[in-house]
Amino acid sequence: MTTKMLVPAKSATLAFAGIDAGATELMLVIRKNAVSMKGQKFANTPSERLRLLKRLSKFPGVSVCVEATGVYHLDLALALADAGVRLMVLNPKAAHNFAKVLLKNSKTDTVDADTLAQYAERMPYQSWTRPATEAPMLRALARRINTLTRNKAAAKNQQHALTFSPQTPKAVLRDLKLSIAQLEKRIDHLAAEAKTLIQAYPALARPFALLLTVKGIGETSAIALLGELMLLPPSLTHQQWVKAAGLDPRHFKSGTSVDKRARISKAGNRYIRQALYLPALSAKAHDPHVKGFFEHLSPTAKPRCRGYALSCVNCCMRFMACSPITSRSIIQDSMRFPHDAKKSENSVDSEQSIYQSKKSKVLFTLYRDRSIE
């Protein structure tokens, strides 16, 4: 048995850079001719990011790899993309596992940046798609609404528990009631701001209007979904959209002795799953396609949670068919099916007919597998 060594991928460029982004600092490590240079620190500020760009400009054609670190890497990634730098934004899980492959025993900013530089050097280049300016703004509004909604639910639970006991002071109950009322006003205000933002940009207004035609999805769910999914690249396939939501099946099987039941991975965006949960329950009750698919699963082969997960997958597919940023890829993919109706990319009815054929393919694939829980 022979073992192949991990060698750098062939590339026209010889310079690769890794940037470890934090809340206050950026650590830059540049590799040239398979040799890492000394790391350099930059503050995570607009002026220091410009200075970092000047440093990178001394290496024409440099490929830069940045690890996705919440919101701290976003401004840096936008600056690099706007400057025309070859940029990859790496999933933290991939960066963590790649460091294990390199047998990295220490974890420092310099080590992390060097790991990212080696990733850019050795792995195939995957360009980062810059989101539209309005997409991060909508996501910030949607996530803040999500936070306030969870705070309101917690306050209501406290109110219910404290009301049960006669020993609770009335001042505490009044304070909880006031807190809930204030949270509701703040949620309504942010929702109005989000709808104003959506109406100001046609790229958001069209999918938002289409989402509202879907059974089970209201304005709150539509805002939450748009806020997360509009930042994803438009070229993703339906399998990649499901995986981005963490709804893909995770299999665990080895040899003849290990064969665990597959479960949804939950390795993707939790905000998407939260936004799809209640619409999935509603669609299961009111959408004939989702209801039929749910009832078609054998009751002896699935617990109820599996059916809800599959309904979430179906809702995610429905959004993909509704979104104009994926209409072109859906049309190209659906052309392989002879039973599809005639379509026009600019027609809402066309997108809905595309959804029907696309959904049939997805549901058949999931039903054939029947291993998701």
DSSP string, 317-332: HHHHHH-GGGHHHHHH
* Confidence (pLDDT) at 363: 44
For the chain, the residue count is 373
**Helix H or strand E segment including 341:** none
pLDDT band at 260 (very low <50, low <70, confident <90, very high): confident
pLDDT band at 278 (very low <50, low <70, confident <90, very high): confident
Please report, to the nearest 10 degrees, the dihedral formed by the alpha carbons of residues 68, 72, 74, 80 taken in order.
Answer: -90
Whether the per-residue pLDDT at 356 is higher than 70: the answer is no
Whether the per-residue pLDDT at 329 is higher than 50: the answer is no
Q: Which domains does the chain have, with CATH numbers?
A: 15-122 (3.30.420.10), 134-227 (no CATH), 229-254+261-369 (no CATH)
Structure tokens at 8: 């750098």
- In this prediction, residues 104-109 reach a mean pLDDT of 91
More confident residue, 307 or 231: 231
Q: What percent of the chain has pLDDT over 90?
A: 48
**Helix H or strand E segment including 41:** strand 40-43
Whether the per-residue pLDDT at 64 is higher than 70: the answer is yes
More confident residue, 65 or 287: 65
* Arithmetic mean of pLDDT over the chain: 79
Q: List CB contacts of 294: < 8 A, sequence separation 6 or more.
A: 284, 307, 310, 311
Whether the per-residue pLDDT at 373 is higher than 90: the answer is no
* Relative orientation angle of helices 134-164 and 219-229, to the nearest 10 degrees: 130
Whether the per-residue pLDDT at 126 is higher than 80: the answer is yes
Structure tokens at 120: 């850019």
Whether the per-residue pLDDT at 159 is higher than 90: the answer is yes
Kindly report whether the global pTM for this prediction surpasses the value 0.85: no
pLDDT band at 315 (very low <50, low <70, confident <90, very high): low
Highest mean pLDDT among 37-41, 232-236, 287-291: 37-41
Q: What percent of the chain has pLDDT over 70?
A: 75
Whether the per-residue pLDDT at 273 is higher than 80: the answer is yes
**Helix H or strand E segment including 66:** strand 63-67
Structure tokens at 182: 């204030």
Whether the per-residue pLDDT at 129 is higher than 60: the answer is yes
pLDDT band at 118 (very low <50, low <70, confident <90, very high): very high
- In this prediction, residues 241-247 reach a mean pLDDT of 82
Lowest-confidence segment of 101-110, 133-142, 222-231, 232-241 by average pLDDT: 232-241
* Confidence (pLDDT) at 4: 42
Whether the per-residue pLDDT at 324 is higher than 60: the answer is no
* Confidence (pLDDT) at 207: 87
Q: List CB contacts of 60: < 8 A, sequence separation 6 or more.
A: 15
